[in-house]
Amino acid sequence: MNSAPDTAVGYILVAAMLLIAVVDQLAAVGRIRRNGFVGMRIPPTMASDEAWLAGHRAAAVPLWVGFALTAVVAVGATLMGAGSIPSIVLFALTLAWAVVAAWRGANRGAL
């Protein structure tokens, strides 16, 4: 049986992934400029304004796909009583995928 804390963790991760994807989208379209507080603040994206935009654009697809998958997994885990571990793992993998994509995109964009 799935406990209330496990269900809450899954849905909190979905909300966090949505927030991260929205912030990334805003940075990708230039609404959030290069800064030291929000966005993908990794060395390649901080190198220039062009790299900032390119990195966030590259991270957009992984983050939106990850958001959708995290939502599906959180609901599925709740219905099947699987706990929050699948959502946590997917959340971490999505962030890793997005950082790698941003790193590569920023390096290409800075050229």
- The contacts of residue 9 (CB under 8 Å, 6+ apart) are 84, 87, 88
Token output for 46: 């901080």
pLDDT value of position 111: 64
pLDDT grade for 20, boundaries at 50, 70 and 90: very high
On the question of pLDDT at 51 being above 70, the answer is: yes
Q: How far is CA 87 from the centre of its chain?
A: 13
> Cα dist. 17→50, 51, 62, 81, 90 in Å?
25, 23, 11, 21, 10
Establish how many alpha carbons lie within 13 A of residue 11's alpha carbon, considering only the half-sphere containing its beta carbon. Answer: 9
